[in-house]
């Protein structure tokens, strides 16, 4: 067990080193100069002398490998460096953004799972029935709507027409409601379709036919179907977590939610390499850990994987 764990940790470190090197290389090759972005961020032109002095100060004139090695040794010591954009330490920025995005992502994920799980079962069990058609239309429509459109529509109806919420929300529970719903609606649409397909696949298995033939009660059949579907459902959800962590940038901007997605988008625009690299390391770790966790859970839940 310990050997396995060490092997997995070594694998994670190897993946992160390769990933960080590739991202560092891509940023190095991509056009864009952090010094120029910083000095001209308000549209004011600067002279070449000023630009060169800033490049020197930020360490941009050093060779690529020296810069990468300095960054890597810093990270090993727990120092993610300072932002090229504003000289503020990177780690607190990322941790704060990560905390806010995690709250948003996990809240919307839980809501989506609860709704889509229920709808997925109903839809699969009542295949081609009225309930199934209604759920499929909902799934199709909500999956087709971009979340920024949902966000603006929610704002319009809930804030302007019904006056239930303020447009300018604070970072509390009330402020969380609309961004969570905006993220949850399209995600629920996707989950319902995927879960329905998984439940239907299980329902058409021989063991279900056999149970039905033996007159086993519906709830026991459903229990077995759900249990056997969980492995795939965990995989679907695990993949979605990564997307949620980095992909809620528009929602974060619209609802003024200071999450990591918005932080990274701003950093990419500003060529703020230390923040981008910090994000890559954190997100790479999260992705790998979630996938490992998903593998372990699948292994535990589905005896077939142990055969």
The residues that touch other proteins, with contacts defined as CB under 8 A, are 31-33, 36-48, 50, 53-54, 57, 86-88, 130, 133, 137, 152, 155-156, 159-161, 163, 166-168, 253-256, 258, 271
Least separation in angstroms between residue 121's CB and other proteins is 22
Q: How far apart are CA 20 and CA 129, in angstroms?
A: 51
Angstrom CA distances, 215 to 42, 199, 209, 239, stand at: 73, 20, 10, 37
- Minimum CB distance to other proteins smaller for 43 or for 213: 43
- Minimum CB distance to other proteins smaller for 84 or for 199: 84
Do residues 105 and 248 touch, judged by C-beta distance below 8 A?
Answer: yes
- In 3D space, the residue among 260, 263, 115, 242 whose CA is nearest the CA of residue 186 turns out to be 115
Which region holds residue 234: left if phi is over 0, alpha if psi is between -120 and 50, else beta?
alpha
Least separation in angstroms between residue 13's CB and other proteins is 32
Side-chain-side CA neighbours of 198 within 13 Å: the count stands at 25
- Minimum CB distance to other proteins smaller for 253 or for 285: 253
Angstrom CA distances, 133 to 4, 56, 127, 204, 281, stand at: 47, 63, 8, 19, 43
- Minimum CB distance to other proteins smaller for 200 or for 268: 268
Least separation in angstroms between residue 129's CB and other proteins is 10
Least separation in angstroms between residue 162's CB and other proteins is 10
Least separation in angstroms between residue 133's CB and other proteins is 7
- Minimum CB distance to other proteins smaller for 41 or for 209: 41
């Amino acid at each position: 067990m310990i050997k396995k764990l060490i092997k997995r940790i070594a694998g994670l470190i190897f993946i992160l080193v390769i990933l960080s090197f590739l991202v560092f290389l891509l940023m190095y090759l991509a056009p864009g100069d952090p010094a120029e972005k910083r000095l001209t961020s308000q549209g004011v032109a600067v002279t070449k002398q000023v630009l060169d002095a800033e490049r020197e100060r930020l360490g941009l004139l050093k060779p690529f490998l020296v810069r990468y090695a300095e960054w890597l040794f810093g990270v090993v010591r727990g120092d993610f460096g300072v932002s090229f954009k504003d000289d503020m330490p990177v780690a607190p920025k990322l941790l704060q953004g990560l905390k806010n995005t995690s709250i948003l992502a996990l809240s919307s994920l839980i809501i989506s799972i609860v709704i889509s799980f229920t709808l997925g079962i109903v839809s699969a069990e009542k295949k081609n029935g009225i309930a199934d058609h209604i759920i499929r239309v909902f799934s199709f429509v909500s999956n087709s709507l971009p979340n920024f459109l949902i966000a603006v529509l929610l704002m319009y109806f809930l804030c302007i027409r019904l006056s239930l919420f303020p447009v300018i929300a604070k970072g509390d529970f009330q402020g969380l409601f609309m961004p969570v719903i905006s993220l949850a609606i399209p995600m629920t649409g996707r989950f319902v379709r995927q879960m329905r397909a998984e439940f239907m696949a299980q329902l058409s298995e021989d063991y279900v036919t056999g149970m039905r033939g033996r007159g086993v009660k519906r709830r026991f059949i459903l229990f077995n179907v759900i249990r056997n579907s969980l492995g795939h459902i965990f995989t679907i959800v695990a993949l979605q977590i990564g997307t949620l962590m980095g992909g809620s940038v528009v929602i974060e901007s619209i609802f003024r939610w200071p999450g990591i997605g918005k932080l990274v988008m701003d950093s990419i625009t500003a060529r703020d390499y230390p923040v981008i690299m910090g994000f890559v390391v954190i997100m790479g770790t999260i992705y790998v850990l979630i996938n490992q966790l998903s593998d372990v859970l699948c292994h535990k839940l589905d005896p077939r994987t142990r055969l």
